[in-house]
Chains A and B, each alone.
Chain A
Amino acid sequence: MRYDACIIGAGADGLAAAATLAARGLKVAVVERDSHPGGRCATREFHPGFRASPYTDELPPIPAEIFWSLDLARRGVVLAPASASLALWPGRQSLLPAPAGRAEAFRQAILARVLADSAAPANRGWFTPRAPYAPWPGEELSTRTLSEALEELTADPAERANLMATFLTGRVCNPALAGSALQLLGGARGGMAAGGLGRLGEALRVAAQEAGAEITCGLEATDIRRKAGRVTGVGLADGSDIAARAVISTLDLKRTFLSLFSWSELPRALVDRAGAFRPAPGTARLLLALDALPEPPVGTEACALRGPIHLAPSAAALDEATHAWRRGALPARPPAMLRLVSAVDPSLAPSGAATLTVTLGAIPHTPFDGAWTHEKRDRLSATALAIIEALWPGLAKRVIGSELLLPPDMEQMLGVSGGDLAGGELAADQMLGLRPFADPDCRGGRTPVQGLYLAGPSSALGPLATCASGVEAARAVAADLVARRL
């Protein structure tokens, strides 16, 4: 049976793409390597009775139109509104409301533009003139540094560091480099889901299946079959094939082009671009099960604990951490963001207990002195707990269970290259019109390979919004099918 589209990866983007395409009456197959769909949208019971979203607590926001068209609210997705974040310094703290402003306006404008681009069919005709370049909203951020962009909001350096941590949400970057202001675009948070992100994954699966998509789990896609330069289907690990007119890959750029194809069959420029696409500094996640709700640090109100808690953010520490990551060194003081997830969603921990997630930034995928051993993992956990204990005394002794997820673990569990959840560094030459291809024909999720579409974290909308890149690719597929470009 020949499908109209085959989607590789049943994460948020893949399922949203499947639901969008199936709703238009097209035959869609989704192939997922893991035993259940959801990808990053998962809830994991890491200790008996204690659950948390393992990879990240909050995903980028889902655009309102997609939230409603996929009917996610009725399917059980409730997203908590963005909350104020707290910064803990030795001896003091500072509460910062959820940031908005120009960065949010840029995000919305970029979303609108890419979704509009995707709806126009691929420009492959001889006589269609090339449209003149229209500057991207937010392009001015690619020459500015993050510190400078935040200087407009506040002159106080401590508050600026706090704002920086709020936008980076556990990631790191060098805030003094030109182009780092683009991190502002990736800093929007869509809110915690009631019941963990797994509820979102479940709702998206239901949306896709009820629309008519077929989801196959437990099978890995190993090749993309092509004939005369056009994509004809996907080869699976068990030797079988899925024939399809279009393929949407929600894997990141490197995995899509370097593992689903043999290098010799792709144009050299494409292979070079995929290889040179730089990863973002990796994050590690430490999930902690606490036997009782810890006493808040002195001077903090309980309501301040519902939001993200940044531990002593400072621009110099970010700089240092980024350089340490580049060298592959284990950071002495990784930037850390805590979230008392059970304070927002009590179902994540047994009554009276608490679940705490810690996001550590600038963790190398492979330390320079060899792979991650048990000893190194324990050392990292101990370092993290020591840092937390210093700023939040009494917390460490409440820990009854923990799990540490490092970039190699995320790579194995999610299939992301290098354990990089961001799908590529948010640098000036890898964002907006250049993410991932500079070619103006590759708009709206299209790639230089005819019939292959890219959604997921390495696409233009990946870091900006959830499900949007899937919907964008789906619209592009639909537009191209209608215009008989496939």
Chain B
Amino acid sequence: MSEALDALVIGGGPHGLTAAAYLAKAGMRVALLEAAAEIGGTCANALALGDLTVPAGAQTLYALDPRVVSELKLVRFGLKFAARDLMQIGLRTDGKPLLLGRDARAAARSISAYSQRDAAHLVDFRRELFAFARAQRALWWEDGPPAALPDELRRQGATGAAAMLDAAFESEAMRAVFAFDAMAGGMSPAAAGTALLFAWRAAQEMCGLQGAVAVPRGGMAALAACLSAAAQGAGVEIRTGAPVARLLLSGDAVSGVVLASGEEVAARIVLSSLSRRETLLNLAPSGAAGFAAAKRLTHGAEVGEAKFVMTLKAVPGFAALQPAARFLIVERLENCIAAHAEARAGRLPAELALEAVVPTAFDTALAPPGTDILSVLVRPLPVVPAEGWSKLAPRLSEAVMAILERHAPGLRANITGLICVTPKPLRDPLEISQLRASWRARIATPIAGLYLCGEAGEPVPALSCRAARIAAAIAAAHLKGAAR
């Protein structure tokens, strides 16, 4: 590091790479520090599964900011999508699956087996939800001044997802298919304000389609590679194998970081893509975050999700319905509320909600022919179970296998490899009030010059890179203001 740096970015995941790229494009001298040997964070293919390597993080992209894609010219760096609009399919044991694609009429056909009223109502539900979501983009996409809350936003901010789904749909099947998304961020579907989670999801845009869920060609690692190339192309200096031990403060403001090796790196601003808890409690000096804020941060998220990735000899049966789909396997919405309470108490819930994706069904390059990958997210689970993960993980695997076997008989016999990623213990808990707060409130920290550009800055923790883009803008403005 020969010249003095303007900005340092901690964390080489997609959020950190995006923030670094934007800062470099704004003319700053930026360095990015990644603790692992490989760039990419949770998107990197870090887990070994037989001969393959798979990522530990999200399995689909539904919130990537389209402006990041266009402004960083990711397409030029090789970003392609293997699937642009995954269909939402609800698998049920008590009847035929619900096929909820973008075409409402086709969706209505599969719903009418359960309820005619719901089939008719889905069109209105979607239309109202999407319209409301678009209206909230001023709050969720831009860092403008916080607008006066319209009545509907306030009302939804007080409504629980369970109440909203109960009012919208009468059939158990329809309520259950949305139950998985209602538990995003470790929230219970009955908690006030979780109705906004649907609106937030609907406010996103992938590949030009509102509320779409996409998968990059080559998996999430390809996204990380594109972002890395974009960042390097913009002039970011990327250092891997450089874990940060703590922040350096001069007075009240950040002045750099100290690596675990003891090396000091000076910079005028620091953007951290780690969680708020990690940044303010572990990296910042004691008390720098404020006593009340630190006390609030000591409680990490109590409920999280686990990820299972398995290699199979053959595609599971349900993938024949529609290869490019996300399969939601939930029995009843009410059971999810009870399951959340059980997870909060540290136990394995009796009922689980699953989201399964078969990426090899639409992206054949991910695995050699004859091998298929099944990626499953499981909610809600205790982050720190009472008995410990070493005891709980096998029971969880068994429960997940049993659920999958019900919908894909013979699956167990086809499994050639299985890996389980347990919930990360240092995640920030989701506070629904964050969904109504401004970007600056989430991104700025009590320490001058320190900004959060990762999931901590997002209203809902998701791979969106919007916080990174906005944090970079705020940081650049700060530097320019300081220069004057």
Q: Using a CB–CB distance below 8 Å, which chain A residues touch chain B?
A: 132-133, 142-143, 174, 176-179, 272, 276, 278, 316, 319-320, 323, 326-327, 427-429, 431, 433-434, 438, 440
Instruction: Decide yes or no whether B413 CB sits under 8 A from chain A.
Output: no
**Which 5 A-B residue pairs are closest in the complex by CB-CB distance?**
A179-B192, A428-B192, A428-B158, A429-B159, A178-B191
B interface vs A, CB < 8 Å?
Answer: 148-149, 151, 154-155, 157-160, 163, 166-167, 187-188, 190-194, 334, 337-338, 341, 344-345, 431-433
Report the minimum CB–CB distance from B359 to chain A (whole Å). Answer: 34
Shortest beta-carbon distance from B102 to chain A in Å: 27
Q: Inside 8 A of A143's CB, which chain B residues have their CB?
A: 157, 192-193, 431-433
A179 engages B151 (CB within 8 Å) = no
21 contacts between A and B (CB under 8 A): A133-B148, A133-B149, A133-B151, A143-B432, A176-B188, A177-B188, A177-B191, A178-B194, A179-B193, A278-B163, A319-B345, A323-B337, A323-B338, A326-B338, A427-B163, A429-B163, A431-B158, A433-B154, A434-B155, A438-B151, A438-B155
B391: shortest Cβ distance to chain A, in Å?
21
Cβ of A427: which chain B residues have Cβ within 8 Å of it?
158, 160, 163, 192
Q: Given the interface contacts A326-B334, A428-B193, does A133 sit within 8 Å of B341 by beta carbon?
A: no
In whole angstroms, what is the CA distance A174 to B160 when docked? Answer: 13
- A77→B482 CA distance, assembly (Å): 69
Cα A143 to Cα B156 in complex, Å, equals: 12
Per the bound structure, the CA–CA distance linking A483 and B337 in Å amounts to: 48
Q: How far is the CA of A316 from the CA of B226 in the complex (A)?
A: 48
Q: Which residues of A have CB within 8 Å of B188?
A: 174, 176-177
Question: What is the distance, in angstroms, from B19's C-beta to the closest C-beta of chain A?
Answer: 29
CB of B429, distance to nearest CB on chain A (Å): 10
In the complex, the answer to whether A174 meets B432 with C-beta atoms within 8 Å is no
A176, B158: Cβ atoms closer than 8 Å? no
Question: Do A440 and B151 contact each other (CB < 8 Å), given the known contacts A178-B432, A272-B167, A429-B160?
Answer: yes
Q: How far is the CB of B236 from chain A (nearest CB, A)?
A: 38
Contact check, A174 vs B192: say whether CB atoms are below 8 A apart.
no
Residues in A with CB closer than 8 Å to B148 are 132-133
Given A179-B158, A326-B334, A438-B155, A174-B193 contact (CB < 8 Å) = no
| From B167, B194, B341, B433, contact of A174 by CB (8 A) | B341
Note all chain B residues with C-beta closer than 8 A to A429: 155, 158-160, 163, 192
State the CA gap A282–B193 with chains docked (Å).
Answer: 24
| Given A133-B148, A438-B151, A178 and B192 contact (CB-CB distance below 8 Å) | yes
B433 / chain A contacts, CB cutoff of 8 Å: 143
Known interface pairs A143-B193, A143-B431; A326-B337 also in contact (CB < 8 Å): yes
CB contacts (< 8 Å) of B157 on chain A: these are 143
Which residues of chain B are within 8 angstroms of A438 by Cβ–Cβ distance? 151, 155
Contact A142 B341 (CB under 8 A): no
A156 to B131, CA, bound (A): 47
Complex-state Cα separation, A276 to B154, whole angstroms? 18
Query: Shortest beta-carbon distance, A273 to chain B, in Å?
Result: 9
- The CA of A429 and the CA of B191, in the complex, are separated in Å by 10
B334: chain A residues at CB < 8 Å are 326-327
A161 CB → nearest B CB, Å: 15
Name the CB-closest residue of A to B191: A178
Q: Could you tell me if A319 and B341 are in contact, using CB atoms closer than 8 angstroms?
A: yes
Closest Cβ–Cβ distance, residue A316 to chain B (whole Å) = 7
Measured between alpha carbons, how far is A486 from B42 in the docked complex, in Å? 64
Point out the residue from B154, B190, B338, B431 that lies within 8 Å of A177, measured CB to CB: B190
In the complex, what's the smallest C-beta–C-beta distance from B37 to chain A, in angstroms?
A: 40
Residues of A within 8 A of B187 (CB): 178
Could you tell me the distance between the alpha carbons of A433 and B158 in the complex, rounded to whole angstroms?
Answer: 10
Q: Given A177-B188, A178-B193, answer yes or no on A142-B158 (Cβ-Cβ < 8 Å).
A: yes
Residue of B nearest to A178 (CB): B191
A320: chain B residues within 8 A (beta carbon): 341
CA distance A278 to B167 in the complex (A): 11
Is there contact, CB below 8 Å, between A428 and B151? no
- Report B-chain residues with C-beta under 8 Å of the C-beta of A326: 334, 337-338
Contacts A142-B192, A429-B158; A276 near B338 (Cβ below 8 A): no
Residues of B within 8 A of A178 (CB): 187, 191-194, 431-432
Q: How far is the CA of A132 from the CA of B154 in the complex (A)?
A: 13
Interface core residue of A276, A278, A427, A429 (most chain B CB under 10 Å): A429
B197 to chain A, nearest CB (A): 12
**Contact indicator A176/B193 (Cβ below 8 Å):** no
CA distance A272 to B167 in the complex (A): 7
**Cβ-defined partner of A179 (8 Å) among B160, B337, B341, B431:** B160
List the A residue with the shortest CB-CB distance to B433: A143
10 additional A-B pairs beyond A177-B160, A320-B341, beta carbons within 8 Å, are: A133-B149, A133-B151, A143-B157, A176-B344, A177-B190, A178-B432, A179-B191, A327-B338, A427-B163, A428-B159
Q: Which residues of B contact A316 (CB under 8 A)?
A: 345
With A132-B148, A428-B159 already in contact, the answer to whether A276 and B167 are too (CB < 8 A) is yes
Let me know if B163 and A276 touch, CB within 8 A: yes
User: Which residue of the partner chain B has the closest CB to A176?
Assistant: B344
B192 CB contacts on chain A under 8 angstroms: 142-143, 177-179, 427-429
Question: How far does the alpha carbon of A41 sit from the alpha carbon of B180 in the complex, in Å?
Answer: 45
Bound-state Cα–Cα, A319 to B341, Å: 7
Most A CB contacts (10 A, CB to CB) among B188, B190, B334, B344 go to B190
User: Which residues in B have their C-beta under 8 angstroms from that of A433?
Assistant: 154
> Within 8 Å CB of A174, what residues of B?
188, 190, 341
| Bound Cα distance A276, B148 (Å) | 28
Smallest beta-carbon distance A12→chain B, Å: 28
Nearest-neighbour CB distance to chain B for A416, whole angstroms, equals 21
CA distance A428 to B188 in the complex (A): 14
Cβ-closest chain B residue relative to A431: B158
Residue of B nearest to A142 (CB): B158
Q: Once the chains are docked, how many angstroms separate the CA of A52 from the CA of B43? A: 66
A319 to B343, CA, bound (A): 12
Most chain B beta-carbon neighbours within 10 Å: one of A178, A179, A427: A178
Report Cα–Cα, A176/B345, bound state, in Å: 11
**Alpha-carbon separation in the docked complex, A431 to B341 (Å):** 23
- Nearest CB on B from A204, distance (A): 33
Residues in A with CB closer than 8 Å to B194 are 178
Closest Cβ neighbor of B190 among chain A residues: A177
Residue of B nearest to A438 (CB): B155
Q: How far is the CA of A424 from the CA of B158 in the complex (A)?
A: 15
The smallest beta-carbon distance between B60 and chain A, in angstroms, is 26
Query: CB-nearest residue of chain A relative to B194?
Result: A178
Nearest CB on A from B183, distance (A): 13
B345 — which chain A residues lie within 8 A by C-beta? 316, 319
- Taking the nearest CB of chain B, how far is it from the CB of A18, in angstroms? 33
In the complex, which residues of chain B have a beta carbon less than 8 angstroms from the beta carbon of A177?
160, 188, 190-192
